[in-house]
Amino acid sequence: MNENTDIVKTEGRAVEQSRQLPTMTPVVDIYENDNEILLFADMPGVTKENLSVNIDNGKLSVLGIRRLETAGSASWEEFGDVEYLRNFSVPQTIDVAKVNAELKDGVLKLHLPKSEAAKPKQIEIKAE
């Protein structure tokens, strides 16, 4: 079950927090091929509604908030609410209109396609 998330500019929707949460840096893997940059970010417990991915002027920002439903008072707590935040610089050659994001099993998969001008091209050699 893949759920696409919305990629919005900074002035778009933002995840709001109601109290100060501990901030963690999500662990990421980044791969690049001729067509795209592919980013995987580990954000366990984050839902689509509490996730924001923004690209603006060469800056990529990923923000997710994990909120846990609890019953009763905690006698020991090591795994509570947390804010995941990570910022990256991305090349201007990314085609922002075609960026795609998926959230599955706590892993954000972000496809950052390269514009046609940035893709490698094979030059044809003509012989006379």
pLDDT tens per residue, the chain (128 residues)?
A: 444 545 544 444 555 545 588 999 999 999 999 899 999 999 999 999 999 999 998 899 999 999 988 788 878 878 889 999 999 999 888 999 999 999 999 999 999 999 877 666 777 778 87
Burial degree of 63 (CB within 10 A; 0-12, 13-18, 19+):
buried
79, part of any domain: no
27, part of any domain: yes
123, part of any domain: no
Burial degree of 18 (CB within 10 A; 0-12, 13-18, 19+):
exposed
84, part of any domain: no
**Which residues, other chains included, contact 76 with Cβ-Cβ below 8 Å and sequence gap of 6+?**
none
CATH number at residue 103: 2.60.40.790
107, part of any domain: yes
Q: Considering the entire predicted model, what is its pTM? A: 0.74
Q: Which domain holds residue 11?
A: 3-68+91-117
Dist. CA 30–CA 38, nearest whole Å: 6
Number of domains in the chain: 1
